[in-house]
Amino acid sequence: MERKNEADPAGTPNVAYTMGSGDEDEVLAGFRRSIDNIDAALVHMLAERFRITQSVGRYKAQSDLPPADPAREKEQIARLRKLAEASNLDPEFGEKFIRFIIDEVIRHHQNARDN
């Protein structure tokens, strides 16, 4: 991310604005900077989501509630598909995504119950 031109009077081409290393070009590099920003946001939102589900896991373990809740999952999937449609995300992918997250959460809840 260092801007070489500012530090280098010999004028080494600025990789951020011209060609990247290997097969990356300027247009692709621009797209990738946006993707990297979004991925950082996604990771932090996921981290917060798992902070909450960890509390849910402890609470379920204390209260002898089962790790999985099929009725809640059905609601979540239906809601996610609607949100996906509204934001032009493929609803099939929206469903796959929430199932991917829920499976991880159930695994955590089972661990919380077993340990």
CA nearest 16: which of 34, 4, 6, 7?
Answer: 4
Q: Is 84 in the site for a second copy (CB under 8 A)?
A: yes
Site for a second copy in 22-41 (CB under 8 A): 22-25, 27-28, 31-32, 34-36, 38-41
Residue that has been written with the tokens 């609803």 in this structure: 91
The answer to whether 60 and 106 are in contact (CB under 8 A) is: no
CA nearest 62: which of 12, 101, 1, 109?
Answer: 109
Least CB distance to a second copy at residue 62 (A): 10
Q: Give the integer Cα–Cα distance in Å for 57 and 94.
A: 24
Q: Give the integer Cα–Cα distance in Å for 22 and 39.
A: 22
Of 2 and 36, nearer to a second copy (C-beta) is 36
Single out the segment in contact with a second copy by CB under 8 A; choices: 1-9, 11-19, 82-90: 82-90
What are the residues binding a second copy (CB under 8 A)?
Answer: 22-25, 27-28, 31-32, 34-36, 38-53, 55-56, 59-60, 63, 65, 69, 71-72, 76, 79-80, 83-84, 87-90, 93-94, 96-98, 100-101, 104
